[in-house]
Amino acid sequence: MLSLRERRAGLLEYEVWLLREAGYRVTGHSQDSGLAVIDVIAADEKTGIGDLRLEVTLPASYPLMPPRVVAPDLDMRHHQNPFVHDLCLLERSTENWDWQWRVAGLLDKQLKKALAAGTAAAGQGLHEADQGEPFSVYYTYVPGMHVLIDSATIDVGISGHGDMELYLVGPVPPPRGERLLGLVKSMRSDGALVYEAPPALTAMYGDQPVTARGRWVVLDEPVRENDAKAIWDAARSADPQPTRAFIHSGRRLEARGIGFPEEHARGRDGTGWVFVLKEEMQQTQTKRKTRAKGGDPRKLAAQKSSDQYHLARAMRAGRDEMTFRAPETLGLVDQKVLVLGCGAIGSVLTEHLARAGVGELHLLDMDELEPGNLSRHAGSFQHAGVAKSIGMAKRVLDINPYSRVQAFNLPIGAPRLVDEQRTETDWLREQMDVVNLIVDATAEIGVHELTSALALEARKPWVMLSASPGIGGGTVVRIDPDARGCFACFQWHQRHGTIPMPPAVEIALVQPAGCAQPTFTGTGFDLALVSAQAARVIVGRLLRGTDGGYPEDGYDAHILTLRDKDGSPQPPHWDGFHVARHPKCAAH
């Protein structure tokens, strides 16, 4: 196989030779600081639109990565960056580039097609991928400067102009490694509310007052200049009202939100948004200089030097955006799950459920998080010393602010009351009445028996997950209230071998210093397989019968093999089983 160095030997001369052989006119080439540039003129037979000047730049990773082709004299509506004039000859993914094509091959294959498509009306004659070209991606934004919006409401039928309220947190402009994260709280038009941020996003800004007020406007088309001041000026001339200055991070600022039609996906139009913060720069004049010039000090102080304009990217943060990448989980918004046990497997499972968008999570655990847990727990060091249930509740909201979450720091099976009125079974029954599914991740057989019996009474599905000793394997079992087999049946099946036990590896438990009990050893990434499988079972069960919901594989029990009897690792392997009623089970 040729190394990258071998593939690049004599590269530039070879590319130029290939281009000339293929009938292109090469007017110059240079190699500067690792980037090779070739100036090419493609004649009408190559372009279909007459002679065209091209600047081809080969990255240091060429030919494994494709060249950049700029047509500086061309201005197409599609398939070309409107500001730097790159041609879109390939879809973005590198799988569309074949390094053996070389520059000449790429131009022969793609140039004429791209030019024909780029000059055609939108949506017509496009030869390419199922991919939209949102105009807003071409602007150059201040790194780290973002304003959160919710597509679900901001893209629907908002037009005209009006007042805007913003939260701003962070410096303007942010130094490297920091950020300004804004949030559009509301937009009004003639006093009527046309957009309001979801309460989940507003809640992230706590009790802080709204820091900024500005103006918004929807233009007929995007500003075709990659310049924050030009965008600001276009907005100001389309909006009759002036903006008012406010003070943020020690700066005197004004704010505008600018919307414009753009393509969001292939053939699907929406509204693109950008935000401009204008920073007033006061001219600093020393008193001495003022006196020396004999001018009026007040007048001079009011003089401004050139104002700064900062372009912030709109960052879409609606609930829809957070499920867009996994549409099979959409229905989870209305679901509530009780998770008993926020240890290693329970916490990682909880994190999966939060990411999948389960609407409400009730979390129970009796322990506090210790740094030693973190090798396999989904919590973070900043929550060390916090009750695991409370730490995980915070983690859930960190991941998905649209979740509702309750935390309970309680043991199960202790001979005491939860509060003055209730026993723990009262509490469990109340919980099971309000949730759609119960998860038992306590790794305590006694608790499994109790909670599976209570879940059956409550007529709710119950899912247990556990790892076998030494993490040789794991178990995920789901018992539905109308199923024939119960959890006791499942245990009888394992005793009699109709459902196998997951492999157990003989290893000693370890007792970390200061802990009351020994614990098992094993890695977080092995345990995570059990948590992920439980998430699949739970999400499939919650969405059973919904259109397009995440599918189930039809099994009640899943047994994982990670090690064989000698403890040698195996490729992870799951087997599925039905839990039939067992003749020996006394519970029927």
Contact residues for Zn ion (CB under 5 A)? 486, 488-489, 585, 587
* CB nearer to Zn ion: pick between 34 and 497: 497
Strand partners, 276: 256, 311
Question: Coil, strand or helix: which one is 399?
Answer: helix
* CB nearer to Zn ion: pick between 210 and 587: 587
Amino acid found at 332: L
Give the whole-angstrom CA distance, residue 361 versus residue 286: 61
Give the whole-angstrom CA distance, residue 70 versus residue 87: 6
Decide: 416 and 216 in contact? Cβ < 8 Å.
no
CB of 584 vs Zn ion, minimal distance in Å: 9
CB of 486 vs Zn ion, minimal distance in Å: 3
* CB nearer to Zn ion: pick between 278 and 582: 582
CB of 458 vs Zn ion, minimal distance in Å: 17
Question: Coil, strand or helix: which one is 381?
Answer: helix
Give the whole-angstrom CA distance, residue 235 versus residue 223: 9
Residues with Cβ < 8 Å from 24, sequence gap 6 or more? Answer: 40, 41, 42, 43, 46, 104, 107
Decide: 561 and 502 in contact? Cβ < 8 Å.
yes
Residues with Cβ < 8 Å from 313, sequence gap 6 or more? Answer: 136, 139, 141, 145, 146, 147, 274, 275
- Type and span of the H or E element at 45: helix 44-47
- 63 upstream amide cis, omega within 30 of 0: yes
CB of 491 vs Zn ion, minimal distance in Å: 9
* CB nearer to Zn ion: pick between 410 and 587: 587
* CB nearer to Zn ion: pick between 389 and 452: 452
* CB nearer to Zn ion: pick between 169 and 580: 580
CB of 91 vs Zn ion, minimal distance in Å: 55
CB of 379 vs Zn ion, minimal distance in Å: 36
CB of 495 vs Zn ion, minimal distance in Å: 13
* CB nearer to Zn ion: pick between 38 and 488: 488
CB of 553 vs Zn ion, minimal distance in Å: 22
Give the neighbor-by-neighbor strand order of the sheet with 336-340: 404-409, 360-365, 336-340, 437-440, 462-467, 473-479, 557-563, 569-577
CB of 490 vs Zn ion, minimal distance in Å: 8
Both tokens of residue 354?
Answer: 């939060």
* CB nearer to Zn ion: pick between 354 and 456: 456
Under DSSP, the state recorded for 570 is E
CB of 477 vs Zn ion, minimal distance in Å: 12
Write the DSSP assignment of 297-353 as a string of letters.
Answer: HHHHHH-B-PPEEEEEEEEE-SHHHHHTT-GGGGGGGG-EEEEE--SHHHHHHHHHH
* CB nearer to Zn ion: pick between 260 and 577: 577
* CB nearer to Zn ion: pick between 488 and 527: 488
Question: Coil, strand or helix: which one is 80?
Answer: strand
